[in-house]
Structure 1
Amino acid sequence: MDLRAALTAHRLVAIVRGDDPEAALRTVLTLADEGVGLIEVSLTGRDALSVIERAREALGPDRPLGAGTVLTADDARAARDAGADFAVTPALGEGVTAAHALGLPVLAGVMTPTEIVTARGQGATGLKVFPAAQAGGPAYLRALRGPFPHELLVPVGGVDEAAARAYLAAGATAVGVGSPLIGDAADGGGHSALRERARAFLAAVREATA
């Protein structure tokens, strides 16, 4: 897949991590039904690879689906074999280089300018600025835009609806959102509230893009 084009077009990555595989699968499908174009399933969730496999079967081959928390070469291979289109890592290292070697575009976890330069060398397509809130929030991301005007910067960590607007206004390519969007849906919670949150985040992204 063209991760660069997808991040630029959709500007929102939903991060699904849960202890209930059935609920996590329903969460992925609900988000897709609401129009969330980029979804990642974290490998730290229970039976995450099975969730990815079943989501891929349900969504078909053309809907982007990622694997998150890819740390090792084994993680990268398993994610690819399960049907993931892209990999997301919390940091630099083997997960990035292995996924890249396997042909998976990578959203690589970084925090500092040095790590951004290193990520380039490891083949990352985009940069997950993580944990964004602790790194300095929208002001820090805006500062990174100076020396790195062409990088795909995706803040993740503590991004609620208001923060999503602020990061996008500060120059983020997209935002990655976990619990403020997912809530308890991937652990068996209600999905009507999930749909409401998805619509609110999508509206925030559209407003920031307009």
Structure 2
Amino acid sequence: MASSSLLDLAPVLPVVVIEDAADAVPLARALVAGGLPAIEVTLRTPAALDALRAIADEVSGAVVGVGTVLTPGQVKESVAAGAGFLVSPGWTELLLEAMQGSGVPFLPGVSTTSEVLALLERGVREMKFFPAAAAGGTAYLKSLAGPMPQARFCPTGGIGIDSAPEYLALPNVGCVGGSWMIPADAVAARDWGRIEALAREAATLSAGATCR
């Protein structure tokens, strides 16, 4: 990975749900061209791993990983398919052990102070804050920065172009996860130019923030 941290690759980590693996390469190329090289392909569809393989093989400049990782088995399958990083909505001891042993960067999901503290005890300092808006949003993350400044987050869940700058301005936020730059109607129409334009707009959100 070009950066020492997944959180520092771009201000926004696109969260991608791919129904048709044939869309994977042009979609990823549009995101990369727009300035968003890190791409999270979620394991929510049967096409996910095929999409991951295609992006990893064919899209220059992409750092493609897998999201919605729920089990140690999915960790193994994802890495075998070419995942450059792993993202989970939460974590258990078994899942964390598998991610730590995977050899690739990972972001375990947290939504409580105790979960953050438990990960810090295990040497994990970079996490996904999910579901961000429902779990307290920027106010919650501000509260964590004081007692646990060593923890850094990628908030995901309910974040859009309007709220993203508020998160990115926080000292403990490296990037945000979102899907607003990949509207379903644009994917259905295969309007990759529109997705590239939305990605470019999202990539400018780093101005004045701490994520580059």
Q: Taking structure 1 as the reference length, what is the TM-score of the superposition?
A: 0.89
Q: How far apart, CA to CA, are the structure 2 residues paired with 1:188 and 1:95? A: 37
Aligned 8 A contact 2:11 2:203 in 1? no
**TM-align CA RMSD:** 2.2
**Alpha carbons 2:3, 2:9 under 8 Å: kept:** no
How far has the Cα of 1:84 moved from its partner?
A: 0.6
**Aligned-residue identity in percent:** 31
Letter in 2 for 1:75: Q
Aligned partner of 1:205 in structure 2 is: 206
**Separation in 1, partners of 2:145, 2:110:** 14
* Gap regions ≥5 residues in structure 1: none
- How far apart are 1:41 and its partner, in Å? 0.6
Map 1:94-113 → 2, pairs under 5 A: 94-113=94-113
Q: Which has the higher helix share?
A: 1
The answer to whether the 8 A contact 2:55-2:62 is kept is no
Partner of 2:55: 55
Residue pair 1:139, 1:170 contacting (<8 A) in 2 also:
no
Asked if 1:196 corresponds to 2:197, the answer is yes
Looking at structure 1, the residues matched to 132 and 119 of structure 2 have their Cα atoms a distance apart, in angstroms, of: 17
In structure 2, relative to structure 1, the CA distance for the partners of 1:110 and 1:205 (3 Å cut) is same
Q: Does 1:12 align with 2:12?
A: yes
Q: Per the alignment, in what secondary structure is the counterpart of residue 66 of structure 1? A: strand
Aligned partners of 1:29 and 1:59 also within 8 Å: yes
- TM-superposed deviation, 1:156: 0.2
Q: CA–CA distance in 2 between the matches of 1:51 and 1:31? A: 14
**Structure 2 stretches of 5 or more lacking a match?**
none
Give the conservation status (yes or no) of the 8 Å contact 1:20–1:187: no
Name the count of aligned residue pairs: 208
CA shift for structure 1 position 177: 1.1
Distance change (3 Å), C-alpha of 1:78 and 1:188: farther
